[in-house]
Amino acid sequence: MENRLLHVAMTQAIQAAEFKARLPHLKLLDIRTPDEIADFNLGGLCITMDVLLEKLDLLNAWQNEEFVVLCYTGLQSKVATTILHKKGFAQARNLEGGLEAYLSL
């Protein structure tokens, strides 16, 4: 069971280098607050973590598409990605290390 959970966690993550290389072609879900997004914005759909479950209908078009969930450190986006997987968004991916990892490249 532990190996299965590790595999799921690894397959739902995208590393910062791959993210940077693929950024122009990726769909993005930014779950940070409006103030955080105002500081640095890569675009995409913005739904804060606290209302994600209430606004899942905004993601219906992405149900069968790959998209990357963003936050600053990667912790909240990892939780959000797990929730999204349980809600049927099998191709949702977490940016490992968050925007902090991306900005450090």
- Per-residue 3-state assignment (H helix, E strand, C coil) for 69-86: EECCCCHHHHHHHHHHHH
Give the span between the Cα atoms of 62 and 28, in whole angstroms.
Answer: 10
The per-residue pLDDT for range 28-47, each reduced to its tens digit, is: 999 999 999 999 999 999 99
Alpha-carbon 101 to chain mean position? 13
Confidence of residue 12 (pLDDT cuts 50, 70, 90): confident
**Topology (CATH level 3) of domain 2-103:** Oxidized Rhodanese; domain 1 (3.40.250)
Confidence of residue 11 (pLDDT cuts 50, 70, 90): low
What pLDDT score was predicted for residue 6? 46
Q: Is a pLDDT exceeding 80 seen at residue 2?
A: no
